[in-house]
Structure 1
Amino acid sequence: MVAVPFVKLKVLSPILTAMSHSMTRGLRTLAHHERIAFGAWLVTWISTPIVLWTAGEHIFPWMASLGVLTQVALSVGILARTWAPFQLASVAGKILISAWAIEVVGVHTGLLFGRYAYSDVLQPQLGSVPWLIPFAWLMMLPPAWAVAAAILSDDRPEGVQRRSHLLARAILAGAAFTAWDTFLDPQMVARGLWQWATPGEYLGIPLRNFAGWWFAATLLTAVVQPKNVPRMPLLLVYTLTCILQAIGLGIFWGQPVAALCGTITMGSFALMAWIRESRRWKYSSGP
């Protein structure tokens, strides 16, 4: 009985060790201004439970807004390594406008995500959609792009193969982005930030919602076609988001099922991405 977990631990140990080393390497690649943004984001997320305990739950919308904006600054700042200012502004604008439009259509028609509505907790709102929501898309899409770029080959085929490759990346990025929602939706529904007209199968959330997220994120990625995404630092952001959400939901917010499901889904993408990255470094550095 004891041997089975021991064998599993023995198999997983080298993988987790390599992943830990990879994350450390990713942290070391951060530039000075990126480390400032990284520190602000990390402090905000870690301090949120403490602030809520001391100041009260009514402060949550402010802490959530601060957490989103600091992660936007971090993700966009990392993209600025390899993207020209105009390209960065153009892509950010496309994501913000498109995400807002998708949410407006979703709220008013029930398409994509099912019938749902935002409460008045998050303000201000435009078209019954809080202004913060499109920024949440912007904060997590770049890390999802990094996951897809890490898992898939760096080869850039031409013609039909190139289009298939771009589509595969978009689909994978959409899935990695949707995995984050297995953490997000249960927490925000429990806090009354939004609600579905008819409770669904996953902790009150319709499975259709996740299909809608996947489709929308895949479509946005296919339209933007992100290239030269700095993989390591954005993978670090994706992985730490998973870890912090798992701790938050599992320990502080009393949602162990969501914590477990989110860890499995989002953690699987992070693990696959880091394994691929580790192999690239091994082959590039030689024997």
Structure 2
Amino acid sequence: MGSPRIRTPEFLALTALLAGLLLFTAFRYPLQTLALNAASVVMFLVSLWAAHVLLGRVRANGFAALALAVGWFAEQMGSSRGWFFGHYTYTDVLGVTLGDVPLVIPMMWFALTLLGYVMACLILWRRPVLAAPGWITGGLTAWLAALIVTAFDLGADPYFVFVLKAWIMEKKDGGWFGETLQGFVGWMIIGFAIVASFQWRARPVAPSLTDPLVSRAVLVPLLIYASGLVFQMIWGHPIEVRAIAFFAMGIPLFIAGVAWFQWIQPNGPFVKGVTP
């Protein structure tokens, strides 16, 4: 386990391809677009690395392919037909597009659904991967993962609309700081569909703590979510979402963080403290 799995030809080829995307963006788009693309590419690659360590190469690649495809389809249907999220149009702020959808958007879907899955498993089952999900356990995991992802979107969407102007909503007053409440229904549906479909198609092997990379890989989703929380608390717009982010994202992050400590230290104080 560990490093041999992630040093695969397809991983290196993907890294080179994404580097080419950034180089093209640097020549054709403003610095802000390059920075947004670079952040998204880094988030995607470190999430893919974490998935390789936690799920194995085949399952990780399958999760990524599923999230990329479903995420792109949902956004394409949303921007062209108003499905899932309401009617909106992407601007050129996020750079190169496939159809109507910037390439970085499906990458974000993968990173967010992976972190939602890992955090949901930690919160519900005190382990980062649900190795043998049934209908009930798999459904609960997918539902909580979708809630965690949507909690991130509560503050992210208004920022992308008002500050970055990455897309334009057709309905200007949708009930949530310029976004539509329908959009959160869409996030729940797509987030649930990705995680549930992954669990239905794959049965990951539970990672072992004997692999020194495993505990670090679990931290990747937590740190990505934590960085999003900090960003929204400092720069969230409008100002109300800063308080919303503290609770909506802070509560699941706190519980998942404690569960991570319980998992890596099964005989530690976090476990002993609740033992009768």
**TM-score band, normalised by the shorter chain?**
0.7 to 0.9
Q: Does 1:78 align with 2:61?
A: no
Q: For 1:117, what is the secondary structure of its paired residue?
A: strand
Unpaired runs of at least 5, structure 1: 1-29, 35-56
Find the aligned partners of 1:241 and 1:140 in 2 and give their Cα distance. 9
Output aligned runs, 1:150-189, within 5 Å: 150-153=122-125, 162-189=134-161
Residues 235-264 of structure 1, C-alpha deviations (whole Å, 9 max, x = no match): 534443344334434445664322221221
Aligned residue for 2:11?
none
Output aligned runs, 1:115-154, within 5 Å: 115-153=87-125
Q: For 1:121, what is the secondary structure of its paired residue?
A: coil
Aligned residue for 1:244?
227
Aligned residue for 1:114?
86
Unpaired runs of at least 5, structure 2: 7-28, 208-213
Change (3 A) 1:173 1:233: farther
Asked if structure 1 preserves the Cα contact closer than 8 Å seen for 2:124 and 2:141, the reply is yes
Q: Does 1:192 align with 2:165?
A: yes
Aligned residue for 2:66?
94
Alignment partner of 2:257 out of 252, 271, 274:
274
Find the aligned partners of 2:96 and 2:115 in 1 and give their Cα distance. 26
Pick which of 208-217 and 256-265 moved more: 256-265
> What is the percent sequence identity of the aligned residues?
21
Find the aligned partners of 2:39 and 2:206 in 1 and give their Cα distance. 22
Find the aligned partners of 2:55 and 2:228 in 1 and give their Cα distance. 29
Compute the displacement of 1:232 (Å): 5.0
Compute the displacement of 1:101 (Å): 0.8
Q: For 1:147, what is the secondary structure of its paired residue?
A: helix
Asked if structure 2 preserves the Cα contact closer than 8 Å seen for 1:145 and 1:173, the reply is yes
Q: Does 1:221 align with 2:195?
A: yes
Find the aligned partners of 1:229 and 1:63 in 2 and give their Cα distance. 36
Asked if structure 1 preserves the Cα contact closer than 8 Å seen for 2:96 and 2:102, the reply is yes
Compute the displacement of 1:83 (Å): 3.1
Change (3 A) 1:237 1:81: closer
Compute the displacement of 1:212 (Å): 0.8
Find the aligned partners of 1:228 and 1:266 in 2 and give their Cα distance. 28
Q: For 1:137, what is the secondary structure of its paired residue?
A: helix
Asked if structure 2 preserves the Cα contact closer than 8 Å seen for 1:243 and 1:263, the reply is no
Asked if structure 2 preserves the Cα contact closer than 8 Å seen for 1:249 and 1:256, the reply is no
Asked if structure 1 preserves the Cα contact closer than 8 Å seen for 2:91 and 2:167, the reply is yes
Change (3 A) 1:198 1:71: same
Q: Does 1:207 align with 2:181?
A: yes
Asked if structure 2 preserves the Cα contact closer than 8 Å seen for 1:146 and 1:229, the reply is no
Compute the displacement of 1:181 (Å): 0.9
Q: Which residue identity lines up with residue 277 of structure 1 in the other structure?
A: W
Find the aligned partners of 1:249 and 1:97 in 2 and give their Cα distance. 27
Q: Which residue identity lines up with residue 116 of structure 2 in the other structure?
A: A
Pick which of 254-263 and 58-67 moved more: 254-263
Asked if structure 2 preserves the Cα contact closer than 8 Å seen for 1:113 and 1:211, the reply is yes
Aligned residue for 1:65?
37
Find the aligned partners of 2:254 and 2:34 in 1 and give their Cα distance. 32
Asked if structure 1 preserves the Cα contact closer than 8 Å seen for 2:222 and 2:257, the reply is no
Q: Which residue identity lines up with residue 172 of structure 1 in the other structure?
A: L
Higher helix share: 1
Alignment coverage as a number of residue pairs: 233
Pick which of 149-158 and 73-82 moved more: 149-158
Residues 160-179 of structure 1, C-alpha deviations (whole Å, 9 max, x = no match): x9211111101111111111
TM-score by structure 1 length?
Answer: 0.71
Pick which of 124-133 and 225-234 moved more: 225-234
TM-score by structure 2 length?
Answer: 0.73
Pick which of 81-90 and 149-158 moved more: 149-158
Q: What's the Cα RMSD here?
A: 3.0
